[in-house]
Amino acid sequence: MRRIRSIRAALTALATAAASMGLIVTGGGAAHAATPLPAHVFAPYFEAYNGDSPAALSSASGAKYLTMAFIQAASKGSCTPYWNGDTGKPIAASSFGSDIATIQSNGGDVIPSFGGYSADNTGTEIADSCTDVSAIAAAYESVITTYGVTRIDLDTEDNSLTNSAGIDRRNKAIKQVEDWAAANGRTVQFSYTLPTTTSGLADSGLAVLQNAVSNGARIDIVNIMTFDYYDGATHEMATDTENAASGLYGQLASLYPSKTPTQLWAMVGITEMPGIDDYGAAETFTTDDATTVYNWAVQKGISSLSFWALQRDNGGCPGTAGSDTCSGIAQSQWYFSHAFEPFTGGSGSVGSDFSVAVSPSSGSVAPGGTASTTVNTAVTSGAAQNVALTASGAPSGVTVAFNPRSVSAGGTAQLTASVSSSAAPGSYPITVTGSGASGSHTATYTLTVTGSGGGSGAIVNGGFESGGTSPWTCQSGSTVVSAPVHSGSHALQVTPTASQTGECDQSLTLAPNTAYTLTGWVQGDYAYIGVSGGATADTWTSASGWTKLTVPFTTGSSGKVTVYVHGWYGQGKVYGDDFSLS
């Protein structure tokens, strides 16, 4: 929340912690089949930094589900998360493990929350602090596997709303975790908690969601903080909650035009601050407001109700604004918890959704052979639904079949690509689409058709989905990485030094005296792609994000050329992905 100190989490003793909690962890990171949250859930924030027991307060208040705040790095620049940034509270069974297990055994669950005002203000929010997307994703995954949870909350406000690099890293990490979860048959949801105006998200909050869409990151819930408006006005808080959420609904409709009204409302979450918020008496959420908001939330079918924070749900300090320990109004103990608790329920028919992933995400095969992969589906919210599988993008001479052709979400199918002897060598991204009642989701399988000698007419391993550089030849230091990538699961990292450009190249034999266009996606300073040998042409760019470069050229009488990508002497690393010829 905007007003509170923050809490953090760490990547420690994953297997040991999971085992000590009774979780079954495989080599791929999959644990027991955690229970998805109800379609509608009341989950107030629990201030995890003040020494209280979440299980004890859950039992006392009757709130079976808690949003636990917050997880962050201990210092700016770190990729290791801890509860409240406290190095004595790593992400391990020793930190809240017993409490969380008790809550789960009582039929509830927790939603760990990354960020919060303090972390967002000091650069210790994990995606602002850590510049390695894979490490950020690993932090999320460690929380999921250590505690056996199915939803992660991302409290993003203050400076985190203007840190464009952090926003992009966070959403790329979300996408990685969602792919990991689908590949391992896990249910994982992500919610963004964002500040709001009385008419919907401000431009900065909307930009967070727009970036998520551009990165292919699925955001399940957008949870708006309907308090602390700081606009100088006196507010009727229940009315402003309804107006803010209605504004958010309209923004979501523009971002997700294929979703139905029911699905859009099922993406909406609301967090109140009972009593007098940080601004003062002009923003007071009353006990009557709680009833109004509850009835409206049920009628609209929103996903979640919450408030900041469980420790404030008492009337011990009438007239006090923004206290951590009381609401500042006359109320009975746990009044707001009891008012919102009936909201929890639903079998999941509202807001049901699923995910699709392939494992492995790439394969190589010679003409005349077959390659296969497993298509994994998972329920991400609500109930399982039938998912029909189709494929697109296969080149001439390649046919793709599924067995079975449809599954119930949570099931798996086998994809088999049959490659004829006439198929041209090259790397081909095949889009696997799962279609269900809630819409469609995709995953990419990169099929590399090999050719004799690796240079017989098309770029081989152009997306580096083999996990290695072959048949490219690279100078020392260049390698294949899992982040950043333009598509698929891998990309090339070119590492220049003071004495070399880090060049990677591949020799091809093309049709003689023929016009071609080399295409590649690059990122970094002084990123070059081009051809040499029987033709000479190149282009370059300096870009912080992925940029598409094209190089037209015409072969000579031999048809032989060498395609290449490199950086520049003494400059930074360059990344390349998805090279092709047309």
- Residue-wise pLDDT tens digits, 184-216: 888 899 999 999 999 999 999 999 999 999 999
pLDDT at 326 over 60: yes
Assess whether the previous peptide bond of 484 is cis (omega < 30° from 0).
yes
pLDDT at 64 over 70: yes
Length, in residues, of the chain = 582
Tell whether 137 and 125 lie within a shared domain.
yes
Measured CA to CA, the distance from residue 206 to residue 193 in angstroms comes to 12
**CB 80: neighbour CB atoms within 10 A?**
22
pLDDT of residue 297: 94
Residues 161-165: what's their mean pLDDT? 96
Whole-model pTM: value is 0.64
pLDDT of residue 471: 84
pLDDT of residue 450: 77
Read off the pLDDT band of 365 (50, 70, 90): confident
pLDDT at 360 over 60: yes
pLDDT of residue 60: 95
pLDDT at 438 over 80: no
3-state secondary structure (DSSP) of residue 504: strand
Tell whether 297 and 425 lie within a shared domain.
no
The residues, ordered by sequence, that sit 6+ positions from 236 with a Cβ below 8 Å of its Cβ are none
Tell whether 229 and 241 lie within a shared domain.
yes
pLDDT at 25 over 70: no
Residues 562-570: what's their mean pLDDT? 94
Domain CATH code at residue 133: 3.20.20.80
3-state secondary structure (DSSP) of residue 47: strand
Q: Which of 415, 450, 485 is the last residue of a domain?
A: 450
Measured CA to CA, the distance from residue 341 to residue 287 in angstroms comes to 14
pLDDT of residue 259: 87
Task: Assess if residue 1 is contained within a domain.
Answer: no
Tell whether 188 and 304 lie within a shared domain.
yes
Task: Assess if residue 35 is contained within a domain.
Answer: no
Closest CA to 85 of 1, 142, 7: 7
pLDDT of residue 557: 85
Q: Which of 450, 474, 505 is the last residue of a domain?
A: 450
Q: Left, alpha or beta for 263 (phi > 0: left; psi -120 to 50: alpha)? A: alpha
Task: Assess if residue 535 is contained within a domain.
Answer: yes
For the stretch 277-289, pLDDT in tens is 999 999 999 999 9
pLDDT at 4 over 80: no
| Backbone CA torsion sign across 429, 434, 439, 441 | negative
- Given a contact cutoff of 8 angstroms between Cβ atoms, the answer to whether 328 and 319 are in contact is yes
pLDDT of residue 347: 45
DSSP state of 570: T
Bridge partners of residue 109, in order along the sequence: 65
Q: 45-49, 170-174, 453-457: lowest mean pLDDT where?
A: 453-457
End-to-end CA distance of the chain: 51
Task: Assess if residue 7 is contained within a domain.
Answer: no
Tell whether 402 and 363 lie within a shared domain.
yes
| Residue 282 CB-density burial (10 A; 0-12 exposed, 13-18 middle, 19+ buried) | middle
Residues 6-18: what's their mean pLDDT? 34
Task: Assess if residue 573 is contained within a domain.
Answer: yes
Read off the pLDDT band of 384 (50, 70, 90): confident
Helix axes 54-61, 97-105, angle to 10 degrees: 30
Q: 25-34, 146-155, 254-263, 477-486: lowest mean pLDDT where?
A: 25-34
pLDDT at 58 over 70: yes
pLDDT of residue 452: 43
pLDDT over 70 percentage in the chain: 92
Q: Which of 450, 478, 498 is the last residue of a domain?
A: 450
Q: Where are the alpha helices (DSSP H) in 258-305?
A: 261-265, 287-300
Task: Assess if residue 30 is contained within a domain.
Answer: no
Tell whether 272 and 376 lie within a shared domain.
no
Strands 151-155 and 109-115: parallel
pLDDT of residue 184: 83
Tell whether 362 and 337 lie within a shared domain.
no
pLDDT at 171 over 60: yes
Domain CATH code at residue 491: 2.60.120.260
pLDDT at 535 over 80: yes
Measured CA to CA, the distance from residue 119 to residue 253 in angstroms comes to 30
Tell whether 495 and 412 lie within a shared domain.
no
Tell whether 508 and 376 lie within a shared domain.
no
Read off the pLDDT band of 448 (50, 70, 90): confident
pLDDT at 137 over 90: yes
3-state secondary structure (DSSP) of residue 244: helix
pLDDT at 8 over 60: no
Average pLDDT value over all residues in the chain: 89
pLDDT of residue 440: 85
Tell whether 206 and 334 lie within a shared domain.
yes
Residues 88-102: what's their mean pLDDT? 97
Read off the pLDDT band of 495 (50, 70, 90): very high
Read off the pLDDT band of 461 (50, 70, 90): confident
pLDDT of residue 34: 76
pLDDT of residue 351: 56
Of the two residues 306 and 462, the one the predictor is more confident about is: 306
pLDDT of residue 459: 85
Strands 275-276 and 353-359: unpaired
b/e per residue 478-490 (b: at least 16 CB within 10 A) = bebeebbbbbbbb
Task: Assess if residue 365 is contained within a domain.
Answer: yes
Tell whether 337 and 357 lie within a shared domain.
no
3-state secondary structure (DSSP) of residue 268: strand
pLDDT of residue 280: 96
Tell whether 442 and 380 lie within a shared domain.
yes
Measured CA to CA, the distance from residue 303 to residue 527 in angstroms comes to 45
Domain CATH code at residue 369: 2.60.40.10
Q: How many domains does the chain contain in total?
A: 3
pLDDT over 90 percentage in the chain: 70
pLDDT of residue 511: 78
pLDDT at 109 over 70: yes
Read off the pLDDT band of 346 (50, 70, 90): low
The amino acid that residue 191 corresponds to is S
pLDDT at 327 over 70: yes
pLDDT at 5 over 80: no
- Given a contact cutoff of 8 angstroms between Cβ atoms, the answer to whether 292 and 257 are in contact is no
Instruction: Domain of residue 525: give its range.
Output: 454-581
Task: Assess if residue 252 is contained within a domain.
Answer: yes
